[in-house]
Amino acid sequence: MSERRPSPNNELVALYPGSFDPLHNGHVDIIHRASDLFGHVIVAVYDKPDKRLYFTTAERVELVRESVAQWTNVEAASYANLTVDYARDRSAHAIIRGLRATSDFDFEFQLALMNRHLNEDIEALFLMTSLEHAHLSSTLVKELSQHGAPIEDLVPAGVAEALRRKRERTDG
């Protein structure tokens, strides 16, 4: 892998919103690359996504926080309002999303156009997944974990540990 550029000395703020239930290495890769481009990156954990949650909002935020601690220009937060409203509240210039496959595109396209309709001042920016993370999703990680399959290569250490604890509680 090429050597990383130092964090940029600029005032551009990016919001990276998602469910992060839980955070995995595909997300971490996007966060790391965004932190090379933006002066400040807010990883924004959505409080009430339209899906059944495995981890509470506080747990999801804490797992993000400890996993991004090495990047001083990255922050973890939660929000419960519309993403564009939260982005405006936090003075974000762009909303970052990751793209894995063409199957992500339709939904992300619709979402980006709706967000622009709601607030045309905030740009949507897409970062393509890295090849080694293209197959990764939170849903698959949870499923593997529930069946006791190894997930240490797919998620940060703290997330693997949290998944293990959660599984033991559910099993026991």
Q: Which residues are catalytic?
A: 27, 51, 100, 138
Rounded to the nearest whole angstrom, what is the least distance from the CB of residue 59 to ligand ADP in the complex? 14
Rg (CA), the chain: 16
Residue whose CB is less far from ligand ADP, 150 or 171: 150
Under rule CB under 6 A, residue 98 binds ligand ADP: yes
Task: Report 67-96 residues binding ligand ADP (CB under 6 A).
Answer: none
User: Residues 102 to 141: which contact ligand ADP by CB under 6 A?
Assistant: 104, 129, 133, 136-138
27 lies in the binding site for ligand ADP (CB under 6 A): yes
Q: Among residues 20, 38, 55, 86, which is the contact residue for ligand ADP, using CB under 6 A?
A: 20
Residue number, 88 or 100, with CB nearest to ligand ADP:
100
Smallest separation (angstroms) from ligand ADP to the CB of 126: 8
Residue with tokens 């998602």: 18
The answer to whether 32 contacts ligand ADP (rule: CB under 6 A) is: no
Task: Note whether 142 binds ligand ADP by CB under 6 A.
Answer: no
94-99: strand order across its sheet: 74-79, 40-46, 13-18, 94-99, 123-128
Q: Which is nearer to ligand ADP, 40 or 97 (CB)?
A: 97
The CA distance from 87 to 79, in Å, is 10
Please choose, out of 68-76, 98-106, 116-124, 164-172, the segment that lies near ligand ADP by the rule CB under 6 A. 98-106
Give contact residues for ligand ADP (rule: CB under 6 A).
Answer: 18-20, 26-27, 30, 49, 97-98, 100, 104, 129, 133, 136-138
